[in-house]
Every structure is written in C-alpha cells, then in structure tokens.
C-alpha cells in the first residue's frame, strides 16, 4: 500500500514507537546525553512550560541537565508515559508525530503522582532509517 500524507508503513510506525520508548527511558533513567543524541544538531525544543525555546542539541541537553539535577536534588524520579501516538508522513523523509505524555513523579516514601499531562508534537527525520527529532513542541495542559 503506498504511503500518503496520512498513511505510514506499519514497520515505520513500529520503529517510531520503539524510538519513543527508548527515548523516554533514556531521560527517565538520567541518561541526558543519550537522550539529547536522539535530536538533530539543529533541533528546536519548545514548550509552554519553558521561558524560551532551546535551539540546537547542545542547548536542549543543557536544559535537560538542569531539570535532571533539580529532580536529583529532590530525590524525585520521573516516568514519561506515552499514549495515543499518531504518525503521519510529511514527505521528504519527515514524519509528524502527535501523542499524549503523562509525567508521573515519585518521591522517596511517597506514592507516584501524575505531575503533568502534555501534548507532544514532533517533527522526526530519518537518518539511515533511525528517527531523530528535528522539532519538538510540548504543551502542558495545566499551563494553557
């Protein structure tokens, strides 16, 4: 079946799902450098929860390092739980992905608590068949 602007081959969707599972586990496990490597060098990361977008992989990594240090200082663990993933072919080796991500936080001795519900919108490019994030927008529902 041909791929159109609305259809993506099942094997590509499967690879994208695996990409997100691996990417979210990297950040949840504190591997900020590994997580940052899943972005292109010229990537842009924007969120209504940040004062300004991060431009470039180095800036995105620096912001994630600050957030990870803050979580460590509080003894907090985060888990990113993705659902409702939609993958669309945008042409020229680019995919547009939209999903919901719930961030669950656990503090020592406390039960897990959802701390953010977000909409994640990504533009992915394929490098040798491997997805990389070129643009990410995270919209937190509580900050609208």
**DSSP-derived 3-state class of residue 12:** helix
Q: Model's pTM, two decimal places?
A: 0.92
Domain parsing of the chain, residue ranges? 10-143
48-80 pLDDT tens trace:
999 999 999 999 999 999 999 999 999 999 999
77-108 pLDDT tens trace:
999 999 999 999 999 889 999 999 999 999 99
| Residue 1 CB neighbours (<10 A) | 6
| Options 3.20.20.150, 3.10.450.50, 3.40.50.300, 3.40.50.9100; CATH of 10-143 | 3.10.450.50
Please list the alpha-helical segments (H only) found in 8-143.
Answer: 10-28, 32-36, 57-74
> Going along the chain, which residue ranges are E strands?
39-47, 54-55, 77-91, 94-106, 113-127, 130-140
Q: Could you tell me what percent of the chain has a pLDDT over 90?
A: 89
């Amino acid at each position: 079946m041909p791929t159109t602007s609305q259809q993506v081959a099942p094997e590509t969707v499967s690879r994208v799902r695996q990409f997100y599972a691996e990417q979210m586990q990297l950040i949840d496990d504190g591997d900020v450098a590994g997580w940052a490597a899943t972005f292109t060098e010229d990537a842009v990361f924007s969120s209504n929860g940040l004062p300004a977008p991060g431009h470039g992989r180095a800036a995105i990594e620096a912001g994630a390092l600050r957030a990870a240090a803050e979580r460590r200082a509080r003894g907090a663990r985060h888990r990113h739980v993705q659902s409702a993933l939609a993958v669309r072919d945008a042409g020229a080796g680019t995919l547009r992905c939209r999903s919901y991500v719930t961030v669950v936080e656990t503090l020592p001795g406390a039960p897990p608590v959802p701390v953010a519900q977000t909409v994640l919108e990504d533009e992915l490019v394929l490098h040798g068949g491997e997805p990389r994030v070129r643009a990410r927008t995270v919209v937190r529902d509580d900050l609208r």
